[in-house]
Amino acid sequence: MGRRKRAFTNAVAKAEKRLSGLKAIDPQLDLGNGLSVTEFETILAAIKTQITVFNTAMSGLDQQTNDINAALKALSEFNRRILAAVGAAFGYDSNEYEMVGGTRVSDIKRGPKSSTDDSNNDEEE
């Protein structure tokens, strides 16, 4: 599952509409104090570029996450296979099997087996 990318937000859409209105008044409109169509275009282009760079970086992170997950899956499979190989080579009740993290067969505790005949006898009484 990929990370959520940033869409052009409402603020960007609102700014584009406002810029369009300003250009309709005068494409070179300058209201002083740095408030001009040119400055507005520069700021709007900068935020769009930042969002694009962010989304590209997120896509790269998605790929790295997928690569890590694949490597972890391969490690898990190798881990399972190595435990099985030690069990086959030394026995599943050996100290060596226990040393690599396996549970010796003789250490596995099993619960008492229940008989289905006993439950039927209780109903008849």
Give the pLDDT confidence of 55-79 residue by residue, as tens digits: 889 888 988 999 999 999 999 999 9
Looking at per-residue pLDDT, the higher value among 103 and 6 belongs to: 103
Over range 86-108, report the average pLDDT. Answer: 92
**pTM (2 d.p.):** 0.55
**Start-to-end C-alpha separation, the chain:** 59
Residues of the chain with pLDDT > 90, as a percent, come to: 63
Give the residues across from 30 on adjacent strands: 36
Encoded amino acid at 19, one letter: L
